[in-house]
Structure 1
């Protein structure tokens, strides 16, 4: 969009927050870059330059605006919508892969040479992988500086910097303030009760409907790994360097995120996975406009604008849970998963709740005796085949994976049908157009709305909803009174 100058100028002059994260505005006369909704007086159009990413603006020599804090906005929704190289690369960069494995590791994961990868990112985003990673580190650093009492040295490493000197230089260059000056400007106090826990704010594009998002996560929570407690969804996190526990609580203008990490260097990855879990980088305006144009869905969209797709922090975990949940109730699926967790999960300590384990890895389940699973023989065979494919690397499920390749390899496993394939594509891989046409709840909802109920006919009818069919599924599910559509109340159960 940043190449459409006239449209960008109109967005800046209107201070339209819907375009925050879609592009960044640099001002030649001040040397700063802003988000489109910056409250400052809009500059003259002749003095505006537009960039597709904060990294591109920084690379061009502009510093971040101190008023609108352009780095503290949701990422471009395009990065999550796209299945191509750039979209996959951006999701892996957000997940901290460059910090862990460097640019060669990122290129290898994507199947490209470093030179090919850099050329593609420069062409699309105006910056290479190192510049994009640097911009992410800078924003993570600012978030920690302004919202925690961490010592600067600890904070630098948590944000992904190799040294305190690099941290200081980057913060001064990007924000035109030293780390100490940034902290002083924030004038925030840190609750002493949060010692050892980081309390952060996760921004999102409005509107956001929390009902199905948090309701789904709470209703399907696996005991020991997930729970709903004190108005927040809590779960354990398996991270590259250790583990963590997160509590996510919806508020009107942000999601409160309480993180406890065994290794602070996992902070960037943990934040990225929490944002991914809650689909916070989606563009609800574009989604609702498309779905609301359909007369069958229009009343549902008008009633609950901003529905998101609840995802997962661990794609292999979700794939296993999807297979365990085939043709059984939500309660039965939770029971099957809880037994696996108790027998094969890695124990963790939770001082604030009832979480006890990390969900077992495919490697930990590789020696699983299928006869111990209380389910039909055919499904036991499916679980064994899925575990073997994940453990061997024949099936790769991650945020930077190839959606169609993953679909094909999943479908080739015995006992894995269209419902499981599309469920994994929707919630584990993040494909916004995944569509579970065979789902019973979707078919019943479609029939109630006067739409075709047979999968083939419904799929043909749903072509009008592309590329947002995964969001249409959320609206269709909302027509039932299933617990996935409601945030738990204290009267029901405050602990899963």
Structure 2
């Protein structure tokens, strides 16, 4: 998209919000880059260039517009669809892999050399992995500067910078303000918690997300109260709690973290959980063009596919939920959470009745299958799954290779196509999974006279079609765990 100058310029002229986050507009006469919908943007065609990422614009010497704040746009929906090395790299960089493991760690996860990964990202995105990570760090720093009273030295460390000098230089490059100047411009009340409003593409069906999350709550780990979903998080540097308050205009994310270095990762996982980087207009256009789905799409535009914050937790819950109700599965797991999980002591957790983080893989890996309160075959499947994740043989991170993960899951005893596909759909964010072996979906497809060939018209958005069909079914309580 960003390589088509004429098309991008037309989007800028119309201030089309659908392209916010898809590309960024840099104006040579001002030295500023903006989101396409920026109300202050009236450049001549010869003065603009278009960039796939904010990092690319920053590397070219542009600073972020203070009016439209382009670094707060939704992420590009392209990374949800693409399962190639570039798409996977963007997922991993967004989850802080470069900060924790360096470019070598990122490259190892992708299965390529560091040189090849750097060249690939620079060619497609205009910035290498270090520049992309640096841009993310600057954004995290801005959030902490504007929402906390932390000393600047603590913010620099929490955002992932190696030094105060690097922190100052990166913030100044990105925003043309020093950290101190940025703090002086902030508005509103500051608390000890990090609060940020998450950008959302419209339309956004908040009610459907809350319905889904409320139907799948695992007590102690997560809760839904009114329009707020809260849960405990396992993050790279410690535990945390997030509370997401949803309405059709957007999402407010409140975080309390053991280590503020996890701020960007927690925000990224919140975005993935709520599928906030999806392109609902593109999805609804494809699905709404099919007469078999047109009524559902018209009735509920902006439907999202809830992802998850932890692939291992989702996999365990999916296996436990095989052939039982959601309530039954949560009853079984409810006994394991206090016994194998990690207790939490956060004020935000207490506010929502949260008590534990979901157990780590190691907590299940050595379990006795006869003492797990479920059929022995299912218990052995969970133990095998936990051992594979704990040993690093199975990667359930959103940046993992979707096809490879599916093959690995199917090779495990006790895991069939439905379970593997469900984990790939929600755990790895695949937008094109239709669970045709699901009984509820099969009945709904038959009721509407939809054949397997018909569903090919829904690509690459079959996961969203499945959510519409689940909601249309009378057996809402049978939505998978």
Cα deviation digits, residues 363-419 of structure 1 (max 9, x gap):
111111111133333323322332232222222211110000000010111121111
Q: 8 Å contact 2:32–2:65 — kept in the other structure?
A: yes
Alpha-carbon distance change, 39 to 485 in structure 1, aligned in 2, over 3 angstroms: farther
Partner of 2:109: 109
Local SS of the residue matching 2:11: helix
Of residues 114-123 and 220-229 in structure 1, the stretch that sits farther from structure 2 once superposed is: 220-229
Partner of 1:207: 203
Partner of 1:406: 405
Partner of 2:371: 372
Cα deviation digits, residues 12-55 of structure 1 (max 9, x gap):
00000100111111111111111100101421111111111111
Give the whole-Å Cα distance in 1 for the aligned partners of 2:176 and 2:464. Answer: 41
TM-score by length of 1: 0.93
Give the whole-Å Cα distance in 2 for the aligned partners of 1:382 and 1:158. Answer: 38
Alpha-carbon distance change, 485 to 352 in structure 1, aligned in 2, over 3 angstroms: farther
Matched, 1:283 2:314: no
Give the whole-Å Cα distance in 1 for the aligned partners of 2:367 and 2:53. Answer: 46
Alpha-carbon distance change, 484 to 214 in structure 1, aligned in 2, over 3 angstroms: farther
Q: 8 Å contact 2:342–2:357 — kept in the other structure?
A: yes
Of residues 428-437 and 166-175 in structure 1, the stretch that sits farther from structure 2 once superposed is: 166-175
Give the whole-Å Cα distance in 2 for the aligned partners of 1:98 and 1:41. Answer: 33
Give the whole-Å Cα distance in 2 for the aligned partners of 1:253 and 1:174. Answer: 28
Cα distance, 1:485 vs. partner? 11
Partner of 1:455: none
Cα deviation digits, residues 109-160 of structure 1 (max 9, x gap):
2111110110110111011001001111111222222333333222222222
Partner of 2:299: 303
Partner of 1:164: 164
Q: 8 Å contact 1:212–1:484 — kept in the other structure?
A: no
Matched, 1:232 2:232: no
Matched, 1:344 2:340: yes
Partner of 1:466: 459
Partner of 2:154: 154
Give the whole-Å Cα distance in 1 for the aligned partners of 2:257 and 2:282. Answer: 35
CA RMSD across the alignment: 1.7
Partner of 1:478: 471
Give the whole-Å Cα distance in 2 for the aligned partners of 1:140 and 1:375. Answer: 43
Matched, 1:187 2:180: no
Alignment map for 1:56-205 (pairs within 5 Å): 56-190=56-190, 194-195=191-192, 197-205=193-201
Give the whole-Å Cα distance in 2 for the aligned partners of 1:381 and 1:62. Answer: 55
Alpha-carbon distance change, 19 to 292 in structure 1, aligned in 2, over 3 angstroms: same
Cα deviation digits, residues 191-240 of structure 1 (max 9, x gap):
xxx43x21111111111111221221221111111111353111110011
Partner of 1:389: 388
Q: 8 Å contact 2:444–2:473 — kept in the other structure?
A: yes
Q: 8 Å contact 2:326–2:477 — kept in the other structure?
A: no
Give the whole-Å Cα distance in 2 for the aligned partners of 1:238 and 1:20. Answer: 30
Give the whole-Å Cα distance in 2 for the aligned partners of 1:113 and 1:244. Answer: 34
Q: 8 Å contact 1:215–1:484 — kept in the other structure?
A: no
Partner of 1:421: 420
Cα distance, 1:462 vs. partner? 1.0
Cα deviation digits, residues 293-323 of structure 1 (max 9, x gap):
1111111111111111111100011001100
Local SS of the residue matching 1:233: strand
Cα deviation digits, residues 429-462 of structure 1 (max 9, x gap):
111111211112211222232324xxxxx3x321
Local SS of the residue matching 2:364: coil
Matched, 1:245 2:241: yes
Partner of 1:327: 323
Alpha-carbon distance change, 347 to 274 in structure 1, aligned in 2, over 3 angstroms: same
Give the whole-Å Cα distance in 1 for the aligned partners of 2:477 and 2:136. Answer: 33
Q: 8 Å contact 1:93–1:133 — kept in the other structure?
A: yes
Local SS of the residue matching 2:150: coil
Cα distance, 1:483 vs. partner? 5.9
Segments of structure 2 that go 5 or more residues without pairing to the other structure are none
Q: 8 Å contact 2:34–2:41 — kept in the other structure?
A: no
Alpha-carbon distance change, 288 to 160 in structure 1, aligned in 2, over 3 angstroms: same
Q: 8 Å contact 1:202–1:254 — kept in the other structure?
A: yes
Q: 8 Å contact 1:212–1:474 — kept in the other structure?
A: no
Give the whole-Å Cα distance in 1 for the aligned partners of 2:274 and 2:468. Answer: 16
